[in-house]
Amino acid sequence: MKPDNELIIAARYVLKHAYVKYSKFPVGAALRMKDSNIITGVNVENASYGLSNCAERTALFTAITEGYTKDDILEVVVTTPKDYIVSPCGACRQVMGELIHPDVPVHMVDANGNVKTLLNRELLPAGFSEDDL
């Protein structure tokens, strides 16, 4: 499955808003919602590194704040200005596992337009879930 080009453009556009004072590693994310809206997010760092937030989680938390649910998310794009594919970190995979349906495609796009697509469930096999509580 090819990613929605509009999502790639949106994720790349917001890269400039990333607050990456420490890592200098901007990440942009974009979610395609069922109502055709696009929700974006960037990573926001903090001197206390554990308080930083990744682009994927920023986008997801924004979607939840705006009243969307996991049923509304159709597709995800994650991009960086690097010339290699970067995948979501473990914390993002865990949050994505709960807030995005398992069969939603997650497209990882590099600066050259190369794409690797996995279904959300493939990002965190045997992940911790509400069923484990």
Distance CA 80, CA 112 (A): 10
DSSP string for residues in 2-27: PPPHHHHHHHHHHGGG-B-TTT----
Q: Which DSSP helix (H) or strand (E) runs through 29? A: strand 28-33
The residues annotated as belonging to the active site are: 56
Six token digits for residue 76: 């995800």
Residue 28 corresponds to which tokens in the numbers above?
């942009």
Bridge pairing between strands 38-42 and 28-33: antiparallel
DSSP helix/strand/coil, 62: helix
Task: Please compute Rg for the chain using Cα positions.
Answer: 14
